Amino acid sequence: MASTPRRPVNPMDAAEALFKPAAKEAAPAVERPAVPNSRETVSLRIDSDVLSFFQEDGPGWQDRINDALRAAMLAKG
């Protein structure tokens, strides 16, 4: 019962076997639909005086900025 060796005997074939592309490709990432009314972390550049205005009243300044942006969005559309 003659069988071919599992490992290449020729050094060139052994080197080529190391650099063969992987048989399996990674599965594409599944995009999940956004949950309605969910929050998303973003980085936003705003003027320091605008930020100070919203932070003057203490905690909740991010919610106040969100409310102001929502009001501007609704006023436009």
pLDDT digits (tens, 9 = 90+) for 6-26: 766 788 887 887 776 667 777
CA angle (62 as vertex; 33, 50 as ends), nearest 5: 125
- Split at pLDDT 50, 70, 90, the class of 43 is very high
For 12, other C-beta atoms within 10 Å of its C-beta total: 8
Helices (runs of H) and strands (runs of E) counted in the chain: 3, 0
Judge if pTM exceeds 0.85. no
pLDDT of residue 13: 81
- Split at pLDDT 50, 70, 90, the class of 50 is very high
